[in-house]
Each structure stands twice: as C-alpha cells, then as structure tokens.
Amino acid sequence: MNKPTVLVTGATGFVGRYVVRKLCEKGYSVKACARTHVADDTFSALHGVDVVPVNILDRRSLMEALKGVEIVYHFAALVSSHTTKEQLSLANLEGTKNVWECAVESGVKQALYCSSTAVYGLLAKSDQAITEDVRARAVEPYGNTKLMGETAALEIAAKSGLHTTIIRPVAIFGPGEHTPFGKQLRDAAISKLLIAGGFQNKKFNFVHVEDVAEAAIYLMQQDISSGEIYNITVNEPILFEEAFRAYIRVLDRAGSSYARIKALAMVSTLLHKVPSVIHFISNIVGERFVFRIWHPGFDLNYSSAKLMDTSFKFKWNDFEEVFNSCLNKN
C-alpha cells in the first residue's frame, strides 16, 4: 500500500532537512517547502522529493502545495534573536495559523508543529525535571511566539478535527547546526575563551537533530490523541564539566586542524578552577575575548519520560558522540 503524501515546511532548515531525508527513507512521497531557491544537490540523492516554493505567509502558495497532501510537518520558523517581536510574531504565529487553516481547508488528516522548550520560560525553574504538565510561561520574544503558535494550532485543531501533535525540542546539536547559539559557539571557538559563568555543577539537556526528526515521524505513526505535547530531549542531562571534557576529547582525536580550538579549550578549563579570574575576565575584559556559554534558562532540565513511555528510543544518548558528529560538518 502506498504511503500518504507528506508536506514539510522549513524543509531546507537544520531540522527540516533531516525530516525530509528520514521520510524518504521510510518510503513517503515528500513535498519539501522552500521559500528561497534550493541548490540542485540539496535533495538530489533522495527519491520521492518534490521541492515546492512556499511562503507560509502566502496562503495561495500554501494551498497549491497542499494539494494531495495528507500529513503536514511544520518546521518553518524564525529563530534569530536579532529580529523584532513583530517579525517573530508574523512568522511563528501568523505563519502557523496559515498552515493550519490551509491544511484544514485542503483536507489534511494530521499535522505536527515543532515548538521549543523555550515556551516554558525562566519562571519554570524547578529542582525537578520539567515535564509537559508544567504550565508554559514564555518570557522572551522567541519562546512567546512559539507558544502562541502552539495555541493557535491547537485551537484550530479543536474546532476542525485536524489531528495535531506538538513537539518541544531542547537545544539541538548535529552536523550542519546553524541556530544562532550554535553559530556563536563555532565563531567563539576559534577566537575566544569559553566562559561558563554560573554553569558549574549544573546540568543541561541536549538532543541530536537526527533524534528530533525520528521522534517527529514516530509520533505521527502512533495512535495518540490529538493535542498531545512531547518534550524531545535525551532524558539524562549532562554536567557542564563533563560536556566540556567530552569536547576536549573530541578535539584530541580531531588532529592538528583543531589545535587552536583545543588550546583555547584547555586554557578555559584551567580558568574555571579559579572563579576570581573568571569573574575578572568576563566582567572586565569583555565580549571581545570571552564567549559566555551560560545563557538564561540553560540551567533548566527537562523530562522526555512521556515520549519514552511510547517506546521511542533515542539513538544519540552520548554527548561525546553528538559532539563528534558535528566535527568537520557544515
């Protein structure tokens, strides 16, 4: 029996590319939505991919792309911290409304919305890992617009009957990672000391991009109720100190091309043993020489117990392997 045709928004993005690839591997026919021109080799090796021009703010292009589609994966989003609240709202809220309303009008049966653990906000801080039962209270523009997007999708789903699933990934790592934080970290690695600030003795969650894609597809194949929300994260957080040691071990194996990065990492490790020096460098020397790894919310931990109760298994549980997968990848 032929599998249904699937549409993926944000198909050329970091996670979207993996979703398209995984869907093709599983035998789906995929409409990969791209707002701009796609290089000829982006999906050339994949069978069953039709690249279609779509702007999620343009309902006409959405309706055209949705012809014959039964399942929608919505990964298109604006994440840059340098954009205005209005721009974030336009893409992450109005764009999502358009996708869900057009999906309903086109007779789509299932839709998945990729949100973020940013929706929980800093007010969710707790000694316990944050589950989906914790009330989302986003406090910054990106998280707030993703939460509004969630609400809009669920409201439309409740009125129309469109089966909707929400996923909330944590910080995503993997080859080709290009989120704002990831880009800053790569830029910092070649020219700055890595300063963790208040991150010592604290843990953080992570997830590999391949596991996000697999979880999204897996959940759409399960017999679950519409409106369910799932955190996507390796369930056991890692201590910052251990993650840093893993980072250095990966650089050890990487060879001479990473010698400068390794040297900076080693210096950073030594500085972390002298808090007074860290304080001086981070507050006096300034951002020209220092990259602050710790950002608000990075000391929150999240639970994926609900996802794992569905029998989903993460492939990338080891942070060192995750880091290693990113090496020499663009």
Spans of all domains in the chain: 5-177+205-236+299-317, 181-199+239-292
Residue 100's contacts (CB-CB under 8 Å, 6 or more residues apart) are 111, 152, 153, 156, 157, 162, 164
Q: Residue 171's pLDDT is what?
A: 84
Q: What is the largest CA-CA distance in the chain?
A: 66
Q: Would you state the structure tokens that stand for residue 158, as one six-digit string?
A: 């409740």
Compute the mean pLDDT over every residue in the chain, rounded to the nearest whole number.
83
Residue 92, pLDDT > 90, answer: yes
Residue 126, pLDDT > 70, answer: no
* 207 phi/psi in degrees, rounded to 5: -155, 145
Residue 284, pLDDT > 80, answer: no
Nearest to 77 by CA among 91, 98, 93: 91
Residue 97's contacts (CB-CB under 8 Å, 6 or more residues apart) are 152, 153, 156
Residue 292, pLDDT > 60, answer: no
Give exposure, 182-214, as e/b (b: 16+ Cβ within 10 Å): bebbeebbeebbbbbeebeebbbbbbbbbbbbb
Residue 181, pLDDT > 50, answer: yes
Q: Residue 189's pLDDT is what?
A: 52
How many residues are listed for the chain in this entry? 330
Q: Residue 316's pLDDT is what?
A: 95
Dihedral angle, C-alpha 147, 150, 151, 157, nearest 10 °: 180
Most confident of 140-154, 284-298, 315-329: 140-154
Q: Model pTM?
A: 0.87
- The H or E element that residue 239 is part of is strand 238-239
Which residue is listed with tokens 């910092």? Answer: 188
Q: Residue 35's pLDDT is what?
A: 78
Q: Residue 227's pLDDT is what?
A: 97
Residue 228's contacts (CB-CB under 8 Å, 6 or more residues apart) are 165, 166, 219
Fold for 5-177+205-236+299-317, please state it: Rossmann fold (3.40.50)
| Mean pLDDT on 258-262 | 66
Most confident of 104-118, 181-195, 278-292: 104-118
Whether residue 72 contacts residue 99, with contact meaning beta carbons closer than 8 Å, is answered with yes
Whether residue 72 contacts residue 33, with contact meaning beta carbons closer than 8 Å, is answered with no
